[in-house]
Amino acid sequence: MDFTSAPDTDFTAVGDLGKKEAAAEIRALREGVNYHDYLYYVKDAPEISDAVYDKLFHRLQELEEAFPDLQDDDSPTRRIGAEPVSKLKKVSHRVPLLSLQAQLDAEKVRTFIKSVQKAAESKSPAFVLEPKFDGLSVEVIYRQGKFERGSTRGNGEVGEDISHNLKTIRTLPLTLQEAGHIPAFLAVRGEVYMDRNGFTALNRERVENGEEPFANPRNAAAGLMRQYESRRAAGKPLRVYFYEILATDGEWPDTHRQVLEQLTAWGLITSPLNKSAGSFQEIEAYHKRLAGKRDDLDFEIDGIVIKVDKIKLRESLGNRDRSPRWALAWKFEPRQEATLVEDIVVQVGRTGILTPVALLQPVDVGGVTVSRATLHNENEMRRKDIRVGDCVHVIRAGDVIPEIEERIKRPGKKRQPPFEMPERCPSCGSPVIREGAYWLCPAGLSCPAQLRGRIQHYAGRDAMDIDHLGEKAAGQLVERGLVHDLADLYAVGVDDLQSLEGFAERSARQLHEAIQGAKEARLDRFLYALGIPLVGRRVARQLAEKFGELEKVSSANRDAIEAVSGLGSEIAAATTDFFEDKRNRKTLKRMQAAGLKIKPMPGRGKQPLAGKTFVFSGGLDSLTRDEAHEKVESLGGRATSSVSSETDYLVVGDSPGSKLDEARDLGVSCIDEQEFLDMLNDN
């Protein structure tokens, strides 16, 4: 029975097979699927159609399900995800996985070349040049040609076992190809990475689901490889390139070129960009060529790696504590501020507002890697005329939020059509509606993205302050149907939480205790936590101070709310609409039945900062920005985000931005954090 060439897919019914016949067919199918994986993913030369491959794969799945005692961890069906692990175990590497010394300066590279020339007693020792992948370094071990284990680099001596996730990567062979002698033991080093198109698609999915996108492909690859559940890594656009033999009981090649050739012969993919060189001039030309084409490659590289070719010369050069003397990384200059818009996606916020977001080729902005930027709304996107494929200038608005400042015109470059807002919500599929400059999903908590966002907001530090309930946990609670509204949070048990990825018994109990401990809150914090549209912290405080109790706020009419100083008709309408909604009223009753108690707002005390307006710029050491705002407002002051002639004080923290210059131009009093704290203490 042979499924490697012209496979016959006219199978005998599973029920008509005995165990011996099934075992023989399973062995042949595994061999056939592995062979066709090799042709498709490694050689890029498939011999059968996708339809035939699918039939082979599904037949193998069918037989393994019918004969469970014939299942095997090395089966290619395991690539779609196995049972979750309880934790990532620590494993020791056979030999240290060294890091590379990295240089930006060409003269330092010249110095390295001269040191090798001196040791080799030759003006032109042989080097091998490789692209420096910006991925996750891994050790992979084979025994008798079969995949045994894979682990992260860790600290170089000890890493984490990620075998269950590595098995899901199609370009990693579970069985080595018969190419000459396969050693009984083989440890190789590679780099797991994510291709750019796949990274953009993954971030699109995350943004549309209301999750934070990955900062760059490396973070995405590392994050997926460290998941407890391999189904989260399965099917993701992950690849792996190999570049070193770490240990083997077989024969060692004499040169690194031969190492790369042997890896390829075993079915372990090496980079097609690898090249030999014999001088600094050739190395410099390679560095310049790859730097020029890095934006056109389908994977991220951040430099080149220069390696001595002869293995014996490497041995004589030796190693430092953490890096070899026979290799060097020559980094590229980081991308600065100007980058490409790879996609435009729509994010659904907790209030249902659809916001266009630009997914960017990762770029360094003020020391921070930026891979996304808000486009605010359709009108703003149209005004700046931002489209997929555009080159743009990125800034960090307000010193924090990435924003596209402008499009950089490229004469003669054909542009993509303008982006159109979707007619349906990307999270739940509901028809969207337009209100002014904004598009809205009207589905409310039946929209998964809105529910996830609402849970995160409710648990936030300035709201109910529920520790351990972050984006990932909120997403899983919604995804698994454990929470349909905020009241459901209080019904989630320890066992439910322990079933979530990343939670063991202790962490599940901690989160459960944190949720159950969040059953008492001051009225203003609770109003803010509910996520009522247009009701931020300041408005929540005003409502709480005016009405004093939840019952009075929830039964107030529009005129009563609009009469509160500083609140307009839109806030009044949003607040009354929220409390008149039957679903919201039902949820509030269930929350109170679960033991939730809302403390009445205490009467206003001294208001020594009344009439004073504060603005903050830069980071504070002792307070978060929101905590600082709350301190000001609790003493009667006002905290705003922009400097104007009405600003009384600018509080200057670490790395202040343009607000400091604006304040000086307007003659605004500038104080540091300690002066601000002294002012609070005095009052």
Residue with tokens 């579970």: 174
From residue 625, give the alpha-carbon distance in Å to each of 277, 639, 678: 54, 10, 17
Helices 19-37/50-66 angle, 10° precision: 140
Q: Is residue 594 packed enough to be buried (19+ CB in 10 Å), middle (13-18) or exposed (0-12)? A: middle
Distance separating alpha carbons of residues 302 and 291, to the nearest angstrom: 8
Residues 213, 218, 223, 224, CA torsion sign: positive
Neighbours of 661 (CB within 10 A): 12
Beta strands 338-348 and 275-277, pairing class: unpaired
Residue set of the binding site for NAD(+): 50-54, 99-100, 130, 153, 191, 307, 331
Residue 353: strand pairing partners: 440
| DSSP secondary structure of 273-334 | T-EEE-SHHHHHHHHHHHHHHGGGSSS-EEEEEEEESBHHHHHHH-B-SSSBTTEEEEEPPP
Three-state secondary structure readout of 461-479? CCCCCCCCCCHHHHHHHHH
Three-class SS state of 592? helix
Pick from 260, 259, 217, 264: which is nearest to 236 by CA?
Answer: 217
Instruction: Quickly list H helices, 121-211.
Output: 163-166, 196-208
With beta carbons less than 8 A apart as the criterion, state whether 250 and 264 touch. no
Distance separating alpha carbons of residues 655 and 165, to the nearest angstrom: 40
Residue with tokens 């076992």: 161
Residue set of the binding site for Zn(2+): 425, 428, 447
Distance separating alpha carbons of residues 113 and 282, to the nearest angstrom: 12
588 phi and psi angles, rounded to 5 deg: -60, -40
Beta strands 669-672 and 649-652, pairing class: parallel
Q: Which tokens in the block code for residue 276?
A: 């030999």
87 is catalytic: no
With beta carbons less than 8 A apart as the criterion, state whether 135 and 217 touch. yes
Three-class SS state of 511? helix
DSSP 3-state percent helix, strand, coil across the chain (nearest 5): 40, 20, 40
Instruction: Quickly list H helices, 522-616.
Output: 523-529, 537-547, 550-555, 558-562, 569-580, 582-593
Instruction: Quickly list H helices, 581-654.
Output: 582-593, 625-634
With beta carbons less than 8 A apart as the criterion, state whether 501 and 228 touch. yes
Longest dimension (CA), the chain: 91
- Of the listed 19, 87, 89, 132, which one is catalytic? 132
Distance separating alpha carbons of residues 616 and 610, to the nearest angstrom: 18
Q: Which tokens in the block code for residue 469?
A: 């309930």
Helices 217-225/196-208 angle, 10° precision: 70
With beta carbons less than 8 A apart as the criterion, state whether 215 and 369 touch. yes
Pick from 102, 96, 78: which is nearest to 151 by CA?
Answer: 96
Which residues make Cβ contacts (< 8 Å) with residue 545, sequence separation at least 6?
Answer: 524, 601, 604
Strands of 398-473, DSSP E = 401-408, 433-435, 438-440
Residue set of the binding site: 50-54, 99-100, 130, 153, 191, 307, 331, 425, 428, 447
Q: Which residues are catalytic?
A: 132
